[in-house]
A and B are shown apart, each in its own frame.
Chain A
Amino acid sequence: MPVETQTLGENWLVVGLMLVSAFSMGMLLLTLNKIMAPSKPSAAKAAPYESGMPDIEPVRPSYSPRFYVVAMLFVIFDIEAIFIFPWAVIFDELGTYGFVEMVSFIGLLFVGYIYAWKKGALEWV
């Protein structure tokens, strides 16, 4: 396969061309859309789709962040399970070293769990 020879300057030119063409393509499409597309806004168009419900209260209600804490704890243990599965499959090949690694990994998660427990993240009020 013949190897193309290019100078470093030409390489920058390629990168620059790519950036310029990507930018101008995006701008061109957006501008064309703005110019050519008909735009006749009306109240009916701005309303929710016919099968949707009109808003009866503000769409950003206040909610308890406690929900997030529990969700985050769930994710942590989910990740733990994901890591333990492949480890369990090749447990024999990994030997003692793999066992120690996994014990320290679970130990660290356990530290986080104790902290969250002590700080009251698991209490539903």
Chain B
Amino acid sequence: MPLDLNLETPDLWLALPQFIVFGLAIALLFGDAFVARTRHFVWLTGLSLVGYLAALVALVGQANENATTFYGLFRADGLTVFLSVIILSAAVLTVMVSASYVERLEGRMPIGEFYVLLAFSVLGAMLVAAAGDLVMVFVGIELSSLATYVLAAFAKRRLTSVEGALKYFLLGIFASAILAYGMAWVYGVTGSTDLDAIARSLAASVGGDEFLDPALLLGLLLLTVGLGFKMAAVPFHFWTPDAYDGAPTPVTAFMSVVPKAAAFAATVRIFVQALGPLRDEWVTLLSVLALLTMAFGNIVAISQRNVKRMLAYSSIAHTGYMLVGLAAYQATGGTGFGAGAGDGDQGVSSLLYYILAYNFMNIGAFAVVTWLQHRGRGLTLDDFGGLATTHPLAAAAMAVFMVSLMGVPPLIGFYAKYYVILAAIDADLLWLAVAVVVLSAVSAFYYLRLVAVMYFNEPEGQPRQADTRLLDVGIAGMVIATIALGLFSTPIIDLADKWESALTVAGQVAGR
């Protein structure tokens, strides 16, 4: 029997930013193998920065696009663009933060391999953001995770690094298995792995209170568990403190943003785009998870004396705030925060803005920790004592990041929480909005304690001198972003509102 193969050539230009990052990874691989070791630091750092910035520029070509290629596997829409901006800017910042750390601290780690793994992890996260198919989501998450596991173990001579990475690896692959199992159930019920086709199939069967397969709910539950592990939501967070504490500090900065962004990208793609008709089911699940995550992260962070562990628990708490944004998804469609606020669907827009804000302030906080490690200080709270007298600028930067993580106007963290709370109130989730406010007040304790230690304690020991120009520029950039992007949040939230183009197919069929 002759096969009927209708193979059209995919539109390669549509995926240009992703191809640039892929080319960058290959170029770094060759650079690592063929460039002399003494030139690695300058050449490969420069190549990475140029590559990520070129990909950011190429994203302009995807703006206002709403197209799919590679037989539905790849989607270029508002969601792809916004998440790719976040992921690529996190990549640029990570390169700036990590270059001198990898080269000089912890016994001179191989910088070429570091950049190669970083590029593959970034590529995986970007592919999740652009996925139009369950299989693509899974492959992207795996590509991103596998590279991150190795990065977490990069300081291989330090046992805590290996220990944290092993826990991360074991729980991560366990979560991947659960995720794949959940996808299998969804595929079994709907008969397709294409996100839009799943939405169409569900919209036809779910309308009203008709028969709904319990197998589908089991799939939903498994997907929630798998994605919960990846985004470090309570009660699936157990790997987080050890992995974040053990990994080299710049890797921790990266791990706390990009895999989390990838996990939320997968959640939006799967839950909102494909399982949108099941909204009532998963919104309940996610709002409970959000409350647990916020409460646990904030309360446990109070008792931490190690700043990296404190930031790990704080990042768990921030996962909770992001989940509030997702739980506020209403499936009503509409304009989001744009024209005529109050009647649109604001949940996902607020989530996207929150990840962007979190990107700058969290990598910033870890960058200052890295900066201090270069100057011979440790990671405990006492090591930050008197920072304001010895290094006033670093102390000021850290204070900005802490206050922003806490959510004080006019910094970016305040606007992020503001939009999330607005979306939650609009979705009649008043109790969650109240929880965000109350738990932010709890978080003030440990964020402000660090600021107080820096400004009111006496410095101990003589600081070491170090030349970290790229890191200095990165921290300065993040301080400016933390202040400016909050003040000028309107264009950003308008850009975030464009995520809705991802819903075109599902929206038309479901009649929403």
Q: Give the B-binding residues of A (Cβ under 8 A).
A: 3-8, 11-12, 14-15, 18, 90, 93-95, 97-98, 111, 114-115, 118-119
Contacts and interface: CB of A to CB of B under 8 A. Distances in A.
B26 interface: yes
Contacts of A90: 3, 5
Interface string B64-77: 00000000000000
Interface in B181-226: 209-214, 217-218, 221
Interface stretch (B27-35, B37-45, B469-477): B27-35
B204 to A, nearest CB: 13
27 contacts: A4-B211, A5-B209, A5-B211, A6-B211, A6-B212, A7-B209, A8-B209, A11-B213, A12-B281, A15-B217, A15-B221, A18-B214, A18-B218, A90-B3, A93-B5, A95-B7, A97-B7, A98-B7, A111-B26, A111-B29, A114-B33, A115-B30, A115-B32, A115-B33, A118-B33, A118-B34, A119-B33
Given A8-B212, A93-B2, A15 B218 contact: yes
Contacts of B209: 5, 7-8
Nearest to A4: B211
Interface of B: 2-3, 5, 7, 9, 26, 29-30, 32-34, 209-214, 217-218, 221, 280-281
Nearest to B9: A97
B112 to A, nearest CB: 10
Contacts of A98: 7
B281 A8 contact: yes
A7 to B, nearest CB: 5
Contacts of A118: 33-34
A97 B221 CA distance: 40
B218 A5 contact: no
Contacts of A95: 7
B232 to A, nearest CB: 23
Contacts of A114: 30, 33
A14 B33 contact: no
A118 B112 CA distance: 14
A94 B30 contact: no
A83 to B, nearest CB: 15
A97 B213 CA distance: 41
Given A115-B33, A118-B33, A93 B3 contact: yes
Contacts of A8: 209, 212, 280-281
Nearest to B278: A8
Nearest to B33: A118
A1 to B, nearest CB: 11
B161 to A, nearest CB: 18
B140 to A, nearest CB: 17
Contacts of B221: 15
A59 to B, nearest CB: 21
Given A7-B209, A15-B217, A90-B3, 17 more contacts: A4-B211, A5-B210, A6-B212, A8-B209, A8-B212, A11-B212, A11-B213, A11-B214, A11-B217, A12-B281, A14-B217, A93-B3, A93-B5, A94-B5, A95-B7, A97-B9, A111-B26
A3 to B, nearest CB: 5
B418 to A, nearest CB: 33
A6 to B, nearest CB: 6
A14 B211 CA distance: 13
